[in-house]
């Protein structure tokens, strides 16, 4: 059967744009100033950003009667990128000494002014490409992408997500801001976001949670312009690091959000300084950074008894505070956070007293490979009443496998049994089985608020474990001991 015209158009666009991106990457590989994808992807991203922004400006010029260009004519993409005579050293000088400094200086006191977005995106951006001739070749490839075409935009969004998956395996800090797409999709769906609700990711990285929430809320719906603009405004994020911030902005623009509501800021500093009901949100979806330490000025801004430099606990504390009454949250936490003592214990107690921690989904080892083999957990809670009981659900890999790896990642379909067991937004008709069990708040409190609870419905004999599995569990146990010792040390230092 022949493909439909729309399907054929999408296939043609994917083939054409895949060739464009491949050529662009081949050009960048020839340049002596670029070393690896962590150099090449940011360069490709900000060029795509300028190309896409120019298309948005051309559209805005048509319907906005008060249109004023955000960028001066000489720095607009359609001016310098179309000038084939601008190449070699002259192009390098223009980019490095004029264009990037100009874009990074843009700002406005007017809310919603696109110059604020441009200034934030390009603050700290550098061009590491040394050949102006190769840069011209790269620009000419980017010019082949039509950001006024819905087919090109849709296809570029798909291709860009593929690039983001590749960068997770690059050297450096890339693993700090990547959450597997199946995990993101499951967390978004089981939080049941609705149109009109404010949705925040305070550690948004490359924007995966916000893009998935946008997809969930717009799929099979035709929104009017007022509804669209409200949704764009309601999707909020904070990101501290410049590279994931740039990648996030490009990711959201490619997915149809022309003015992403993302702040390039230290989320903890920003949130702790916010006050009042207006700063609270309906839904939080996040995988915050763990294992890091904040500077003293941030720790000291928190209330007495909750002051710590441990990033994990500060984020969890602020997430609890940031929710509106009846607000909902889905958050990724490593095992160490579940059994943490000291200030960690206090924050878990606060969570259980102020929120209904209704579900903890326990993931097996390797879901976050290659960054760590340590198992992680998905916590779902609502800020409506204290916790009475916590349901646990253990995800198990298919077949005889005991975990996942970079080459054998978790698939979304493997959450289907948990989703069916969930019982919808009201969590109706849940029952205990080989995967699911529940623990009363009295038992949790009696166990000193330890949430690192194993499935009582299964046995796991040592005789059936491989040496690799036993070694991984030994590492987990050692990290658990180290975490407890670190908590004790921090508590002693705070006195």
pLDDT digits (tens, 9 = 90+) for 29-80: 999 999 888 889 889 989 999 998 998 888 888 877 788 899 999 999 999 9
Q: Which residue has the higher pLDDT, 121 or 328?
A: 328
Tell me the β-bridge partners of 238.
263
The encoded tokens of residue 129 equal: 């490409």
Q: Which residue has the higher pLDDT, 390 or 456?
A: 390
Confidence (pLDDT) at 419: 96
pLDDT at 156 over 70: yes
36: tokens are 């690896």
pLDDT value of residue 46: 92
258-293 per-position pLDDT tens digit = 889 999 998 999 998 887 777 899 999 999 987 677
* Three-state SS annotation for the chain: CCCCHHHHHHHHHHHHHHHHHHHHHHHHHCCCCCCCHHHHHHHHHHHHHHHHHHHHHHHHHHHCCCCCCCCCHHHCHHHHCCCCCCCHHHHHHHHHHHHHHHHHHCCCCCCCCHHHHHHHHHCCCCCCCCCHHHHHHHHHHHCCCCCCCHHHHHHHHHHHHHHHHHHCCCCCCHHHHCCCHHHHHHHHHCCCCCCCCCEEECCCCCCHHHHHHHHHHHCCCCCCHHHHHHHHHHEEEEECCHHHHHHHHHHHHHCCCCCCEEEECCHHHHHHHCCCHHHCEEEEEECCCCCCECCHHHHCCCCCCCCCCEHHHHHHHHHHHHEEEEEEEEEEEEHHHHHCCCHHHHHHHHHHHHCEEEEEEECCCCCCCCCCCCCEEEEEEECCCCCCEEEEEECCCCCCCCCCECCECCCHHHHHHHHHHHCCCCCCCCCCCCCEEEEEHHHHHHCCCCCCCCCCCCCCCHHHCCHHHHHHHHHHHHHHHHHHHHHHHHHHHHC
Backbone angles phi and psi of 391, in degrees to 5: -90, 135
- Which stretch of 47-61, 140-154, 355-369, 461-475 has the lowest confidence by average pLDDT? 461-475
What would the mean pLDDT of 243-271 be, rounded to a whole number?
Answer: 88
More confident residue, 304 or 100: 100
Nearest CA among 279, 353, 264 for reference residue 318: 279
Higher pLDDT, 492 or 439: 439
| Whole-number pLDDT of residue 275 | 73
In this model, does residue 226 exceed pLDDT 50? Answer: yes
Q: What pLDDT does 405 receive? A: 78
Report the C-alpha gap between 60 and 56 in whole angstroms.
Answer: 6
Task: Give dist(CA 189, CA 362) in Å, integer.
Answer: 17
State what percent of residues in the chain have pLDDT above 90. Answer: 49
Between the alpha carbon of residue 112 and those of residues 130, 233, 258, the distances in Å are 35, 10, 11
As given in the structure block, the two tokens for residue 12 are 């043609």
Whether residue 463 has pLDDT greater than 60: no
- 63/145: higher pLDDT: 145
Bigger pLDDT: 172 or 152? 152
* Per-residue pLDDT, 371: 66
Q: What is the pLDDT of residue 332?
A: 94
Nearest to 320 by CA among 311, 331, 333: 331
The pLDDT mean for the chain works out to 86
Residue 122 has pLDDT above 70, yes or no: yes
Beta strands 281-286 and 261-264 are unpaired
Domains and CATH numbers, the chain: 10-167 (1.20.1260.30), 174-494 (3.40.50.150)
Looking at per-residue confidence, does 305 or 81 come out higher?
81
pLDDT at 460 over 80: no
Task: State yes or no: pLDDT of 247 exceeds 90.
Answer: no
Whether pLDDT at 28 is above 80: yes
> At residue 368, does pLDDT exceed 90?
no
What does the pLDDT read at residue 175? 41
pLDDT exceeds cutoff 50 at 171: no
Mean pLDDT, residues 380-388 = 97
Per-residue pLDDT, 67: 83
pLDDT tier for residue 26 given thresholds of 50, 70 and 90? very high
Out of 67-76, 364-373, 413-422, 465-474, least confident range: 465-474
pLDDT of residue 378: 97
Give the model's pLDDT for residue 174: 42
Q: In 10 A of CB 52, how many CB atoms?
A: 22
Q: Does pLDDT of 491 surpass 90?
A: no
């Amino acid at each position: 059967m022949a493909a439909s015209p729309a399907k054929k158009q999408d296939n043609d666009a994917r083939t054409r744009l895949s060739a464009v991106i491949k050529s662009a990457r081949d050009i960048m590989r020839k340049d002596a100033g670029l070393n690896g994808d962590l150099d090449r992807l940011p360069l490709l991203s900000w060029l795509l950003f300028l190309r896409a922004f120019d298309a948005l400006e051309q559209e805005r010029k048509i319907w906005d009667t008060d249109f004023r260009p955000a960028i001066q004519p000489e720095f607009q993409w359609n001016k310098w990128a179309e000038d084939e005579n601008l190449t070699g050293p002259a192009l390098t000088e223009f980019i490095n000494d004029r264009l990037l400094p100009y874009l990074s200086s843009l700002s406005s006191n007017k809310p919603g002014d696109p110059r604020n977005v441009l200034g934030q995106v390009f603050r700290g951006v550098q061009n590491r490409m040394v050949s102006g001739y190769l840069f011209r070749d790269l620009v000419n490839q980017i010019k082949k992408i039509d950001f006024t075409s819905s087919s090109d935009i849709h296809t570029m969004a798909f291709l860009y997500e593929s690039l983001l998956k590749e960068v997770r395996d690059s050297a450096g800090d890339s693993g700090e801001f990547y959450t597997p797409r199946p995990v993101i999709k499951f967390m978004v769906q089981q939080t049941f976001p609705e149109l009109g609700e404010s949705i925040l990711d305070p550690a948004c990285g490359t924007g995966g949670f916000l893009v998935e929430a946008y997809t969930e809320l717009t799929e099979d719906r035709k929104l009017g312009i007022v509804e669209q603009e409200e949704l764009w405004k309601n999707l909020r994020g904070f990101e501290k690091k410049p590279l994931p911030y740039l990648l996030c902005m490009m990711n959201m623009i490619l997915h149809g959000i022309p003015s992403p509501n993302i702040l390039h800021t230290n989320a903890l500093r920003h949130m702790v300084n916010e006050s009042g009901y207006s700063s609270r949100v309906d839904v939080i979806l996040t995988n915050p950074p763990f294992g890091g330490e904040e500077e003293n000025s941030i720790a000291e801004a928190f209330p007495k008894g909750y002051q710590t430099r441990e990033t994990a606990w500060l984020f969890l504390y602020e997430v609890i505070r940031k929710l509106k009454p009846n607000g909902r949250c889905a958050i990724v936490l490593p095992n160490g956070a579940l059994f943490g003592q000291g200030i960690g214990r206090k924050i878990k107690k606060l969570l259980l007293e102020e929120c209904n921690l209704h579900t903890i989904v326990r993931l097996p080892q390797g879901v976050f490979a290659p960054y760590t083999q340590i198992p992680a957990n998905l916590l779902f809670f609502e800020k409506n009443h204290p916790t009475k009981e916590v349901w646990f659900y253990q995800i198990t890999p298919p077949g005889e496998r005991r975990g996942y790896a970079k080459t054998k990642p978790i698939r979304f379909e493997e959450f289907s049994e948990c989703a069916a067991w969930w019982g919808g937004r009201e969590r109706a008709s849940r029952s205990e089985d080989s995967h699911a069990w529940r623990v009363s708040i009295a038992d949790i409190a009696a166990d000193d608020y330890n949430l690192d609870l194993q499935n009582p419905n299964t046995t796991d004999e040592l005789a059936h474990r491989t040496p690799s599995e036993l070694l991984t569990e030994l590492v987990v146990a050692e990290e658990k001991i180290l975490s407890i010792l670190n908590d004790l040390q921090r508590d002693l230092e705070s006195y």
